Amino acid sequence: MAREKELAIIAGDYAKNHRGREYSLESVKDTFLEYVKQGMKYLLTKNTIILYSENRDKTVEFHAINAGNKQDLVTAVNNLLAKAKVKFDKAVTYYDNPAINDLANLGIVKGTVKKIDGGLDRTYEMSFDLRG
């Protein structure tokens, strides 16, 4: 079960990045808890949670829940990428906020950004070649 720190990060991220959306803070918390219950893993780094799943094609898909600042997000993604390099060929994340695109070159692995217009929370795709 998630601890208070994780739920506080979720609340902070919701207040900063999701207020006014068609879903509530409680539904976001419930979704996170359900993902964890189903076996999804996550890394906790300061003010950021990186929720990730391991796909069959040697790709790790991740999603950031960030109650901190830009550097907190970069640090958390770098932690995931360093861990993922051991087992995976690629990492990928999806998001709507175009400001995230600027972070593609700040990590230990450079990201490639594509606009995919895949619906809610999937306007952009950032992928990382972990073997390159």
Q: Which domains, from first to last, does the chain contain? A: 40-129 (3.40.630.30)
Q: Is the pLDDT of residue 97 over 70?
A: yes
pLDDT value, residue 22: 84
Total Cβ atoms within 10 A of residue 47? 20
Higher-pLDDT residue of 20, 31: 31
CA distances from 49 to 58, 110, 131 (A): 22, 20, 24
**Mean pLDDT confidence for 82-97:** 95
Average pLDDT of span 21-35: 91
φ and ψ of 38, to 5 deg:
-80, 0
Check whether 1 has a pLDDT greater than 60.
no
Closest to 83 in 3D by CA, of 107, 56, 106 = 107
CA-wise closest residue to 92 among 67, 112, 76: 112
The predicted pLDDT at position 2 comes to 58
